[in-house]
C-alpha cells in the first residue's frame, strides 16, 4: 500500500490509472504532432544528404529507387501535416481522443521511414557513433535515426496503441 499526502494526490483517490491514461493520451498527441513541420523540409533535408553522399551536386538523385523513397516520404509527410491540421480544427473544443493513438503510430512510423531513407542516402557515413571519420552532421543524423526507435515506445507502445485502435476505433472483439 502506498500512502500519499492528500495535498499531493492528482485527481481522485484510487483513480490513478485514469490520470495516467489521460497523461499518456496527451503524450501521444505530442508525439503525433512532433513530426508536423514545414512539409518541404524533409525533401530538402534528404536531397541535401544525397548531394553530400551520392556525388549528386545538382540534378536528380542518381539512384532511382532512392529518389522514389525521398519523394514518397516527402509526400507522406505533407499528407500527414494536412491530417494534423484537420484534427486540430475538429477537436479545438475537446482533449485528445482515440485519434491520438492513430496519429502516434502514423507519426512514429513516418519518422522512422524518413530517417531510414536518410541512412540509405548516407551509406557507410550513417553508421558512425563517434570519431574523426564522421562529421557532426552525420553523427547527429545517426543519433536521430536511433532515437526514432524510442518514439514507438513513448506514450504507450505501438502494439498497445494498435490494440486500442482495434477495440475503441474499429470496435473489434478482444481476442482471449
Instruction: Identify the CATH number of the domain in which residue 58 sits.
Output: 1.20.140.10
Q: Is residue 116 part of a domain?
A: yes
Question: How many folded domains does the chain comprise?
Answer: 1
Average pLDDT over residues 155-164: 86
* Distances, alpha carbon 57 to alpha carbons 44, 51, 141, in Å: 13, 5, 20
Q: Is residue 4 part of a domain?
A: no
Task: Cell 549528386: give the residue.
Answer: 56
pLDDT interval class at 3 (50, 70, 90): confident
Q: Is residue 175 part of a domain?
A: no
- Mean pLDDT, the chain, whole residue set: 84
pLDDT at 65: 94
Q: Is residue 121 part of a domain?
A: yes
Q: Is residue 6 part of a domain?
A: no
Query: Is residue 19 scored above 90 in pLDDT?
Result: no
Q: Is residue 20 part of a domain?
A: yes
pLDDT at 143: 92
Cell triple for 43: 525533401
Between residues 142 and 85, which one has the greater pLDDT?
A: 142
Q: Is residue 105 part of a domain?
A: yes
- Helix intervals (H) in the chain: 16-34, 39-53, 64-90, 99-122, 136-150, 158-164
Instruction: Find the domain containing 147 and state its range.
Output: 16-169
Amino acid at each position: 500500500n502506498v500512502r500519499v499526502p492528500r495535498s499531493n494526490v492528482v485527481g481522485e483517490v484510487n483513480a490513478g490509472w485514469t490520470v495516467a491514461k489521460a497523461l499518456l493520451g496527451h503524450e501521444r498527441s505530442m508525439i503525433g504532432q512532433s513530426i508536423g513541420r514545414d512539409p518541404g523540409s524533409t525533401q530538402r533535408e534528404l536531397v541535401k544528404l544525397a548531394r553530400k553522399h551520392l556525388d549528386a551536386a545538382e540534378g536528380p538523385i542518381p539512384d532511382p529507387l532512392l529518389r522514389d523513397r525521398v519523394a514518397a516520404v516527402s509526400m507522406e509527410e505533407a499528407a500527414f501535416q494536412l491530417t494534423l491540421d484537420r484534427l486540430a480544427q475538429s477537436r479545438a473544443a475537446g482533449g485528445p481522443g482515440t485519434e491520438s493513438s492513430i496519429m502516434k503510430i502514423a507519426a512514429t512510423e513516418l519518422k522512422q521511414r524518413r530517417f531510414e531513407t536518410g541512412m540509405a542516402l548516407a551509406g557507410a557515413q550513417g553508421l558512425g557513433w563517434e570519431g574523426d571519420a564522421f562529421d557532426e552532421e552525420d553523427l547527429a543524423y545517426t543519433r536521430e535515426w536511433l532515437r526514432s526507435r524510442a518514439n514507438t515506445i513513448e506514450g504507450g507502445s505501438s502494439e498497445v496503441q494498435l490494440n486500442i485502435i482495434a477495440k475503441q476505433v474499429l470496435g473489434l472483439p478482444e481476442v482471449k
